[in-house]
């Protein structure tokens, strides 16, 4: 579910690969991921047991966004991961965002950044593409 934060920004840009080096967009993706932490908690995930996995979303974005932007290009596994999800027609990132937003709404969790990105992954938008 935390992937939905970064996916939402990649979809907004047209490709997840465009997040490489885009500090401001990565910051928004990290903040969107941070907004999803209460959703994970509501689904029964003990975030204390996953400190390492959520550190990127809890750390100050003034530090993590530039560091992530700087790391993506030269670190092959990160670059490959971003490139693997960069097909503008790929349905998986859209489906992850749709499912995550639906679950947040079902549980009454506020996720304003994901909601703001909804036009980029809404089923109606992808049906027209």
Q: Residue 28: its pLDDT value, please? A: 94
Read off the tokens for 9: 């920004």
Domain that holds residue 103: 3-128
Orientation angle between helical segments 3-13 and 92-107, nearest 10 degrees: 130
Q: How confident is the model at residue 124 (pLDDT cuts 50, 70, 90)?
A: low
What is the rounded CA–CA span in Å between residue 87 and residue 120?
A: 14
Counting the structural domains of the chain, the total is 1
pTM: 0.83
Decide if pLDDT at 86 tops 70: no
């Amino acid at each position: 579910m935390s992937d939905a934060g970064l996916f939402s920004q990649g979809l907004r840009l047209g490709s997840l690969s465009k997040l490489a080096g885009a500090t401001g967009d990565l910051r928004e993706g990290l903040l969107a991921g941070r907004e999803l932490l209460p959703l994970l908690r509501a689904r029964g995930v003990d975030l204390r047991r996953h400190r390492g996995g959520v550190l990127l979303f809890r750390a100050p974005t003034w530090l993590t966004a530039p560091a992530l932007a700087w790391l993506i290009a030269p670190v092959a596994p990160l670059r490959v991961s971003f490139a693997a999800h960069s097909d503008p027609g790929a349905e998986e990132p859209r489906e992850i965002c749709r499912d995550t937003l639906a679950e947040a709404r079902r549980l009454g969790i506020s996720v304003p950044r994901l909601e703001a990105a909804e036009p980029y992954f809404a089923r109606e938008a992808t049906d027209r593409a």
